[in-house]
Amino acid sequence: MSMLQDSFGRRFPYIRMSITDVCNFKCGYCLPNGYQADKSDNRTFLNIKEIERLTKALSELGVCKIRLTGGEPTVRKDFFDVLKVIKKHSGIKKTVITTNGYHLDQKAQKIKESGLDGINISIDSLDRETFKNITGHDRLPEILEGIKKLQELNFKNIKINAVLLKGVNDKEEDFDKWAEFIKTNDVDFRYIELMQTGDNLDYFNKYHVPSSKFVNYLNERDWIFQTFGKDAGPSKNYINTDFKGKFGVIAPYSKDFCKSCNRLRITAKGDLRLCLFGNTGINIRHLMQKDDQTEELKDLILKQLNFKKESHYLELGETGLTKNLSTTGG
């Protein structure tokens, strides 16, 4: 079986697949004005049959983990049907999602029943007013209630992501609140360093703060760095035996961040992206139309890996094709 490997020896068992660009939140770092359709691209989002063929091909290329992203993936009316197809027909061993947690309290039971292997929930602050200011929605209580319901259902592998923002959620008291939360909750919490995209330069310049600020907080409190598996994401995780949960840091501006890259991306309209901040993307959707196109699809994906660069060069201000994080799942 051919495996996904680039010219730098990196292997890719992990795919981040966007299934919609639509998002119902208005986060300042991503879609401050809300979702607006790209009028220059009238292609529809991938349908279930295309997703089934694509994930089957990816499985045959050694992919063992798929993360469904958006936009907000759960706004698709057929979201749970998409999950079912991947779980039953693709051969992918692990399917997880990233979500803003909208109506999580109402969806918890169905999420548990779907067989989903993990969930990442975006919560940028435990302060209700701060959360509302960042996202444009006063929905923190329902999201926290949703997490509680998932735990009551014995759902495993719950993670929370927050974008680290200078002067907004980067104070020691913010870190302390999350420490208190994970002390009694078996949840992984990770801060993500704010990334520059094509549309957010002013916002980036105003709110970017190095992730080292949070790492210093952890080091001063004897948190221990933990290694991770081959299909893990980019988070550097920290453990403390006095806490049920873990802390993590995703630091795309750190030295050698791309050296351990293990993931590729598929956009909601069927483009293969070798990097979140790459300058090129190729449409592979035309090879998802028939069941007998699997070998052609696999061959095209394998050939594209020759063009994957060693680094994203974010530190040089190169943001590639990514105008905002809703188009490729962040």
Residue 19 lies in a domain: yes
Residue 121 lies in a domain: yes
Helix ranges (H only) for 9-139 are: 48-60, 79-85, 104-114, 128-135
Give the pLDDT confidence of 286-307 residue by residue, as tens digits.
999 999 999 999 999 999 998 8
Residue 227 lies in a domain: no
The residue among 203, 184, 64, 44 whose CA lies nearest residue 134 is: 203
- Half-sphere exposure in the Cβ direction for 258 (13 Å, CA): 17
Strands 236-239 and 246-250: antiparallel
List phi, psi (to 5°) of 138.
-95, 70
What is the count of structural domains for the chain?
1
Residue 324 lies in a domain: no
- The one-digit pLDDT tens for each residue of the chain (330 residues) are 678 999 989 999 999 999 999 999 999 998 888 888 888 788 899 999 999 999 999 999 999 999 999 999 999 999 999 999 999 988 999 999 999 999 999 999 999 999 999 999 999 999 999 999 999 999 999 999 999 999 999 999 999 999 999 999 999 999 999 999 999 999 999 999 998 887 788 999 999 999 999 999 999 999 999 876 666 668 899 999 999 999 999 987 777 777 888 999 999 999 999 887 666 779 999 999 999 999 999 999 999 998 888 776 665 555 555 565 666 655
List phi, psi (to 5°) of 73.
-60, -30
Helix ranges (H only) for the chain are: 48-60, 79-85, 104-114, 128-135, 140-152, 172-184, 201-207, 212-220, 294-304
Residue 136 to residue 48: CA distance in whole angstroms? 31
Output the six-digit token pair for 220: 């001063």
Residue 50 lies in a domain: yes
Residue 134 lies in a domain: yes
User: Quick check: 268 and 18 in contact, CB under 8 A?
Assistant: yes
Residue that the structure tokens 């873990």 belong to: 246
Give the pLDDT confidence of 196-235 residue by residue, as tens digits.
887 788 999 999 999 999 999 999 999 999 876 666 668 8
Give the residue numbers spanning the domain of 147.
14-161+256-316
Residue 12 to residue 261: CA distance in whole angstroms? 8
Give the pLDDT confidence of 31-46 residue by residue, as tens digits.
888 888 888 788 899 9
Helix and strand element counts for the chain (H, E):
9, 12
Could you tell me the end-to-end alpha-carbon distance of the chain, in angstroms, rounded to an integer? 30
Helix ranges (H only) for 17-103 are: 48-60, 79-85
Residue 214 lies in a domain: no
Q: What is the CATH number of the domain that holds 150?
A: 3.20.20.70
List phi, psi (to 5°) of 264.
-120, 170
Residue 159 to residue 161: CA distance in whole angstroms? 7
User: Quick check: 123 and 161 in contact, CB under 8 A?
Assistant: yes
Cα diameter, the chain: 57
Residue 3 lies in a domain: no
